Amino acid sequence: TRGQQFAFAGNFGEVEVHGAHRGEAKRYDVAHVMSNLDADGNPVLRVSKAANYHWHTDKPYHAAPPMLTMLRAVEVPPTGGDTEFANTALAYDALPDGTKRRIAGLRVVFRPAFDESRAAVDHPLVRMHPETGRKALYFGNHSTHILGLPEAESAALLGELLDHATQPQFVYRHRWRAGDLVMWDNRCLLHRLVADDSMRRYRRVMHRSVVRGTVPV
């Protein structure tokens, strides 16, 4: 159940509490429902969810972004609706030494795609995992630019790093089955929902729990 998932996620830290959909009062101690359904329960593509089709880490625009996300498949399409994960620690390790020196100390500005009222925050482009000590690239679709670099150079560098980090050798593609529970570490992984026609044709209902993290260093 959603309550059991919320409780399980609590073993890893403080779980974020989400408001219910459609302006309902906040509900506590339950997982957050994510779906492609409209008010009548029919599948529909939402423009506001388009960012999920791009490589991102969850909520990097927070001062202390979440460390862990947990997603449980309740209803899945018969085909499609996969999620891909890219390991940015492995990607960092594979960078040429010159590139590592070039990006050391740089900071990335993050802002949510559909909430311009939220103030931007910046985090290290290369962050240190607080538990393993490994370095990992930290950026994604919510990145707007790199502090201190000209706009064109910033965009080019972020694009080059994204192309590098999402090469096949760093990527795992998960094909969902009902009942699957997948957990990932936002501090060293990017992820995205693979865009395909299934999202407008079939129901997809997932329950998500997010565990709070610490300020990236």
Mean confidence (pLDDT) of the chain? 92
- What CA–CA distance (Å, rounded) separates 137 from 104? 10
For the record, the structure tokens of 167 come out as 């090469």
pLDDT band at 46 (very low <50, low <70, confident <90, very high): low
pTM exceeds 0.75: yes
pLDDT at 190 over 80: yes
- The predicted pLDDT at position 31 comes to 83
Q: Residue 86 carries which side chain, given as an amino acid letter? A: A
Residue 169 vs residue 40, higher pLDDT: 169
Residue 95 confidence (pLDDT): 99
- pLDDT (tens digit per residue) in 89-132: 999 999 999 999 999 999 999 998 777 778 999 999 999 999 99
Which of 4, 6, 12 has the alpha carbon at shortest distance from 213? 12
Burial class (CB in 10 A: 0-12, 13-18, 19+), 18: middle
All domains of the chain in start order, with CATH: 2-211 (3.60.130.10)
Mind listing the pLDDT tens digit for each residue in 8-25?
999 999 998 865 444 444
